Each structure stands twice: as structure tokens, then as C-alpha cells.
Amino acid sequence: MSAPCPVFGFTVEIELGDASSNVDSIARQVERDVLERRGLEWTREQTTRVVRYVVRGESSQATDDDRQALAARLGTLRERGAVHAFRVGPIVDFSSAA
């Protein structure tokens, strides 16, 4: 029996700004501008003032370039006040976290 294939991805935590109560609008912008173009998908794990997502590639492999692109887009949203703060975690193998 062989080991399971790795599922590389990363987490993103977004702290919403006062002016951005609409997390769905922010999510749609990020999906359109970054995730869809890079073949990524994300799932929301919880919704509070801090929203946490798990990001994976459609082919199960997200890369450091993907992390950097997402961080850049979130940085733009922070400059506009839509996002108060964010944290993009390191690449991890989600297959071993099961």
C-alpha cells in the first residue's frame, strides 16, 4: 500500500474592517481575481469578525506563488479599508493532517 498523495495548501485568516461587513463580497473579489485564475478553491471554516479559509489547488497542489498572489490581492483590499488585517499561512500537506 502506498502513502496518500500530498494535498498541498495553506490557510488564510482575514480580519474584516469596520466598513466591510460583507464578507461574501470580499470573497467573490478574491475568487474572481486570484483563485479562479490560478485553479484554486477555498472553503470557509468559520465566520466571525475573523474569517478563516483553507485554500487548495483544484489538482490538490497550491504553491508559494499562489500564496503570494493571494497575499498581494488581500493587501490591496486592506489598503482600501475592506480588510483590517490578514494572515496567509505556510504551505502544508493537508493529507497528513487528517
For the entire predicted model, the pTM comes to: 0.79
Topology of domain 8-92, per CATH? Alpha-Beta Plaits (3.30.70)
Residue 10 near residue 68 (C-beta atoms within 8 A): no
Measured over the CA atoms of residue 15, residue 26, residue 24 and residue 87, the dihedral's sign is negative
Strands (DSSP E) contained in 1-98 are 8-16, 40-46, 50-57, 83-88, 92-93
Residue 16 near residue 84 (C-beta atoms within 8 A): yes
pLDDT (tens, 9 = 90+) of the chain, 98 residues, equals 566 788 899 999 988 776 545 778 888 999 999 999 999 999 887 666 788 899 998 776 899 999 999 999 999 999 988 888 999 999 999 887 55
